[in-house]
Structure 1
Amino acid sequence: MDLRLLLCLPLVFTSLPLYCAEIYTSLVNVKQAIIAERKLIDSLKSYIEQESQRLQDIRRFYDKASHLHSEVYKDQAAALANPLLAFTLIKRLYSEWPNVIYSDEALENTQALRSSYEREGSFLPQLEDLQGAVSGLLRLQDVYALQVSDLVKGHFLTLTNGGTREIYKPHVSVPLSGDDCFMVAYEQEDYYHSVPWLEQSVSLFRGLNWSPENQGSLEDALDHLAYSHFKTGNVSYALSLSQELLHHDPVNERVQNNVEKYEKLLLVKPHINGNRLRRPDSKYLRTREVYERLCQNHGSHPTHFQNPRLFCDYFSGGSGLIVRPAKREILSLQPFVVLYHDFITDTEAEDIKRIALPGAYGSSQCLSSFTNCQPPLSATLVPGKQFKSGGVDRRQRKQTVTTQEHGKEHQQ
């Protein structure tokens, strides 16, 4: 398994076990979610088939009743003279119509669909999972300077020297919808991240009808975007967006008041300019700029020929890794960054994921509170399973200590 352990000094070195656990937990949760949705798709297919049959029965009853009124009951005198027609008319109104109107079949079909959804409840994501997924997406956006306008199209492009470069090309490109963009922006507490996503949400919502599965709408996106631009000082654009919102919701008194407020502000200060969106400070990473610069330079680091102190070797770490030396690649000296290739095997990785799964916490919980995370993996393994992951744990500790020592030497 080509799992790369990136050790950066003096970056957040001690948090590596947390992020590794977070990655494993997220991967397992996504696999479970895929299986759960596959089952839900099958249940929805069954629901559609049952509802289609129910609607066909209703359509058949409609055709029968409407045919009688268009053909048989045209001549009411003849119809009244036929006791069979009178009987079937009374019978339909007394029995058949109530059976159609008050049928429980639709409710039963809906209840069956809801029950299948609730059965998968333990494997379905919660709000904290959605927040964690959004945080992960924004973390990628920040670290690799990804463009939101390209992300919504399924492309991972970053700006480099005035141009763009694709840093990742997925096998399947998944474009985002206006509602997807709205949900990303809705969870944010800063305008630096929310405004670009709201811009894309408004753009994608325009010209489309609202879908019942959507959480947001064009009106919601316009409302949030207008307020965001007002808070950042771009009053003229906030006014334009609010006027567009009034076109869709002309009786909204709050938006009407906002339009009047923005117009008055522009009369007082007609040339008011918006403030530049400022990225909020990091709560977790003090050396964020250095860390992101290294990531954004991926593939363009100096080579051994440009700097002989950058090299690759089989690293034994003194006496700790003699039997199985690590494949080490020194990427940077300031800060000291080492990339270890093939750090664990596929078998070890699967073993760790399998054992960690029962007590795994969601990624957002671990990130929000370090004290709520599970203890190290080696401290929670059951007897008979500790040897495999214990080897990984020992290798990690050995390489961590040795890399720290080498980092200090290179930085002197």
Structure 2
Amino acid sequence: MCIQSDVFTSTTHLSHLLNTEIGLAKQLDIYLKEEYERLDQIEKFVNVIKDEIRQAQGNEEYYFGNPVNSYLFIKHLATDWNNIEKLLPTDFVKNMGSKWLFPTFEDYTGSAIGLMRLQDTYELNTSQLANGELSSKFKSKRLSALECYDLGRVAYTNGDFYHTLMWMQEALDHLDTEMNHTSINKIDILDHLAYATSQQGNVEHALAITKEILTIAPDHFRAQNNKVYYETIIKNRTLTNKQRRDAIDKSNSTNLKLIQTTSSDESYKINNKRSDDYFDEQESYEHLCRQNGTRLHPTYQSKLFCRYRHNNHPYLILQPVKEEQLLHQPAILFYHDIISDSDIEKIKSLALPKLQRAVVRDFTTDTFQPVDYRIFSYFSAWLRNEDSPVIARLSRLIEAITNLSMITAEDLQIANYGVGGHYEPHFDFSRRREKDPLSRLSAGNRIATWLTYMSDVEEGGATVFPLAGGHLKPKKGGAAFWYNLYASGEGDYNTRHAACPVLIGNKWVANKWIHERGQEFRRPCSLNPMV
């Protein structure tokens, strides 16, 4: 027999349904908690970007002229946004992606590497940089423990244990002050720090950090294995009794603060040297970048001059140019007030839509490739005389001043440098050992370089000549000129130059490379190879 009973008529059934309601309430509470946490993360992200908008809007050039601000801005849109994306409905994310442009992960890592390049070139203290004390004039946001950790992670991923060690230590220091207001685990920082410091040869320090990890998480599998590994290395070393005692004392110490030193004579001290990739002329190049001007011997200083120049050229007779010689060998000339602010803005507006990441020719494959030493924020565009009367007018002015033909010259290259944007020491001319140098242009080698500065730079960004000891600070509206080749056609190796990283500001330049063909009667050839 089947008996049916309506639920609402049975008190017993209602009692059973109460259990359903209790279970439902618990599940909904869990769901609401997860939703509140999800919405809380989204709200925090929105507040961060709203704060950036408030500071940057209407003041973009000044705000993004600070490399820490630029790095954090790119990080928020390249990596932080990816984490927020996962919390949003699929249709919402798809609609967002189709409307706006987002930076890539390569942009993010490039900005991080650029920040570390600035740290090296201008000898910036890691703690000062992390605390927003970029310079005496410019302050920026204090980096959190997570943001310091992320910088260390970029270095770690690139095998750069020199910077990994510094930024993981900084993350550890910031973690102590942030208490529970952070989303980074101390063990993650210590794990990276231990490996980085071991790769820099500090096995005792790596052991100390590993023991610290095991104090927090005794079951940490990798730390257990590493502890045995580091202890075996130390045991197998030939140490004096004093060194062994010091190493043991160090490994038992809870003070993990780094002691940076350039000497590894005492194995228990912390060593953190830059990579072997630190090339030979880097030291002189970076030293010049830190200078405020060129320091010449009085003998050479006496040969320099300033003058008005017109070359008997109709274009210059009524308005001669202001010429200043800044360097004697090679002769580097600087021309003041060459181009007006309005013409500069016109050139920048023409170049902006065409800006692309700069490339360099690989002579082994005869192809053009983007390369690491120009990584991030060195973008370029090419403008022809036909693109605007402003470009044509600048070309005519360059010809009048230099007395060199522009017929075989390259188009005007516009370059923009941002976070850590730089160009390592190089020659503008092609050397004989290079495969078919500049043959695609059929105009011979680059006889001379004209470099127009289209912006001032607050700090950094100088053009330097490491072999000659020259330092040229960008000056808006001015231009530098020098010959890359002797009159004999041989390359002048003293013209090796570099663009220092931009520390504060935004650097715009316009390059005009002038070629040999067409100059036969304007700059007669010499039989002396060094003239």
TM range (shorter): 0.5 to 0.7
The residue matched to 2:127 in structure 1 has which SS? helix
Aligned mate of 2:110, from 121, 132, 143:
132
- 1:51 equivalent in structure 2: none
Aligned pair count reads: 310
Aligned residue in 1 for 2:390: 388
CA RMSD of aligned residues (A): 5.1
- 1:191 lines up with 2:161 in the alignment: yes
- Quickly say closer, same or farther: Cα 1:238–1:209, change in 2 above 3 A: same
Cα separation, partners in 2 of 1:293 and 1:203, compared to 1, 3 Å: same
Q: Deviations over 1:58-94 (max 9, x none)?
A: xxxxxxxxxxxxxxxxxxxxxxxxx9xx99x97x949
Choose which of 123, 127, 134 in structure 2 pairs with 1:149: 127
Mapping of 1:2-21 within 5 angstroms?
none
TM-score (norm: length of structure 1):
0.57
2:81 is matched with none
Pick the aligned partner of 2:383 from 378, 381, 392. 378
CA offsets per residue over residues 380-409 of structure 1, 9 Å max, x none? x9x6x4322444566678682583239979
Match of 2:442 in 1: none
1:174 to 127, 141, 157: 141
Output the CA distance in 2 between the equivalents of 1:392 and 1:339.
16
**Quick one: distance in 1 between partners of 2:312 and 2:113?**
40
Residue 316 of structure 1 and its aligned partner are, at CA, apart by 5.9
1:356 equivalent among 351, 356, 362: 351
Distance in 1 separating the partners of 2:95 and 2:350: 27
Superposition deviation, residue 277 in structure 1? 1.0
Is 1:236 the counterpart of 2:214? The answer is: no
For 1:82-231, list aligned pairs within 5 A.
93=21, 111=88, 115=93, 118-119=96-97, 122-156=100-134, 166=135, 169-170=137-138, 172-188=139-155, 189-209=159-179, 217-231=185-199
- In proportion to residue count, which structure has more strand? 2
My pick for the range that moved more, 388-397 or 243-252, is: 388-397
Deviation of the 1:105 alpha carbon: 8.9
How do residues 306-345 of structure 1 correspond to structure 2 at under 5 angstroms?
Answer: 307-313=301-307, 319=313, 322=316, 329-333=324-328, 344-345=339-340
TM-superposed deviation, 1:127:
0.8
Deviation at 1:336, TM superposition (A): 5.9
Provide the rounded CA distance (Å) in 2 between the counterparts of 1:289 and 1:210.
42
Q: Work out whether 1:404 is the aligned partner of 2:475.
A: no
Is contact 1:361-1:374 (8 Å) kept? yes
Aligned to 1:377, what secondary structure does the other structure show?
A: strand
For 1:211 and 1:121, locate their aligned partners in 2 and report how far apart those are by CA, in whole Å. Answer: 34
Q: In proportion to residue count, which structure has more helix?
A: 1
Verify the 8 A CA contact 2:356 2:380 in the aligned structure 1.
no
In 1: Cα distance, 2:125 partner to 2:330 partner: 27
Q: Is the 8 A contact 2:306 2:324 kept in 1?
A: yes
CA contact (8 A) 2:300 2:328 kept: no
Displacement of 1:133:
1.0
The change in CA–CA distance for 1:239 and 1:100 in structure 2 (over 3 A counts) is closer
Q: Cα gap change, 1:393/1:276 in structure 2, threshold over 3 Å: closer, same or farther? A: farther
* Offset at residue 116 of structure 1 (A): 9.3
Whether the 8 Å contact between 2:214 and 2:220 is mirrored in structure 1 is yes
The structure with higher relative contact order (CA 8 Å, sep 6+) is 1
Per the TM alignment, residue 315 of structure 1 is displaced from its structure 2 partner at its CA by 5.8
Q: 1:182 to 1:99 in 2, by over 3 A?
A: closer
Shift in Å, 1:224: 1.2
Residues 143, 295 of structure 1: 8 Å contact kept: yes
1:292-311 to 2 correspondences below 5 Å: 292-298=286-292, 301=295, 307-311=301-305
Uncovered stretches (5+) of structure 1, i.e. residues with no partner? 1-82, 157-165
Report the TM-score when normalising by structure 2.
0.46
Shift in Å at residue 303 of structure 1? 10
Matches of 2:104 and 2:314 in 1, distance apart?
43
Q: 1:141 to 1:312 in 2, by over 3 A?
A: farther
Deviation at 1:357, TM superposition (A): 3.2
**Within 1, Cα distance between the matches of 2:189 and 2:392?**
50
CA contact (8 A) 1:129 1:362 kept: no
User: Match of 1:358, as an amino acid?
Assistant: P
Taking the aligned partners of 2:207 and 2:151, their CA distance within structure 1 comes to: 24
1:400 partner SS:
strand
Once the two structures are TM-superposed, the CA of residue 222 in structure 1 deviates from its matched residue by 1.3
Q: What CA deviation, in whole Å up to 9, does each residue of 1:186-240 have, x standing for no partner?
A: 222222332222221221123535667x5x5432221111111111111111111
CA deviation string 1:10-56 (max 9, x = no partner) = xxxxxxxxxxxxxxxxxxxxxxxxxxxxxxxxxxxxxxxxxxxxxxx
Q: CA deviation at 1:346?
A: 3.5
Unaligned runs of 5+ in 2: 1-10, 43-86, 238-243, 248-266, 360-368, 403-447, 451-479, 495-529
1:277 is paired with a residue whose SS is coil
